[in-house]
């Protein structure tokens, strides 16, 4: 199975980009830039908070 989704985490500011493969094979983008944002991870049935990603780094 080809890659279906991935996260890109910025190291110099709060920003997480989630790219998800769409039905037509292109990539859809969702951006999260607030610590109180929650990211629903497709295919893993879980939610990840932006605050958890940046915990201990800010």
Q: What is the pLDDT of residues 16-48, one digit of tens each?
A: 999 999 999 999 999 999 999 999 998 888 999
- Centre a 10 Å sphere on the Cβ of residue 19 and count the other Cβ atoms it contains: 15
Contact 11, 1 (CB under 8 A): no
- For the ranges 7-11, 14-18, 53-57, the lowest mean pLDDT is seen at 53-57
The pTM of the full predicted model, rounded to 2 decimals, is 0.88
2 - beta bridge partners?
A: none
Domain ranges across the chain: 5-54
In this prediction, residue 2 carries a pLDDT of: 86
């Amino acid at each position: 199975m080809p890659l279906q989704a991935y996260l890109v985490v910025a190291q110099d500011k709060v920003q997480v980009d989630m790219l998800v493969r769409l039905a037509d094979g292109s990539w859809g983008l969702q951006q999260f830039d607030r610590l109180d944002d929650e990211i629903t991870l497709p295919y893993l049935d879980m939610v990840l908070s932006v605050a958890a990603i940046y915990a201990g780094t800010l």
